[in-house]
């Protein structure tokens, strides 16, 4: 695999991941799947960084219920 900082990298997705990606693109009105993957990877990276620092990243729903991004 080439260094992703210097060029393009191909990613092979299984059917489930491809369907999830397509669905998210449709919901966001985004025609560039790479943009969606970049957002997801950025969120994952932020979650892992916070976790290494001893914290946790959570979503809070309209009822005030917490859900960890990564348990």
Tell me the CB-side half-sphere exposure of residue 68, using CA atoms within 13 A.
8
- The chain-wide mean pLDDT, for the chain, equals 89
- Return d(Cα 52, Cα 49) in angstroms, integer: 5
pLDDT for res 23? 95
Nearest in space to 69 (alpha carbons), one of 16, 15, 55, 37: 55
Name which residue leads in pLDDT, 7 or 44.
44
The CA distances from residue 3 to 9, 11, 42, in Å, are 8, 13, 18
Sequence-distant (6+) residues with CB within 8 A of 55 are none
């Amino acid at each position: 695999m080439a260094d992703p900082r210097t060029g393009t990298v191909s990613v092979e997705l299984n059917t489930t991941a491809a369907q999830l990606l397509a669905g998210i693109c449709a919901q966001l009105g985004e025609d560039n799947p790479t943009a969606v993957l970049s957002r997801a990877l950025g969120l994952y990276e932020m979650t892992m960084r916070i976790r290494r620092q001893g914290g946790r990243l959570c979503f809070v729903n309209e009822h005030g219920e917490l859900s960890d991004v990564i348990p």
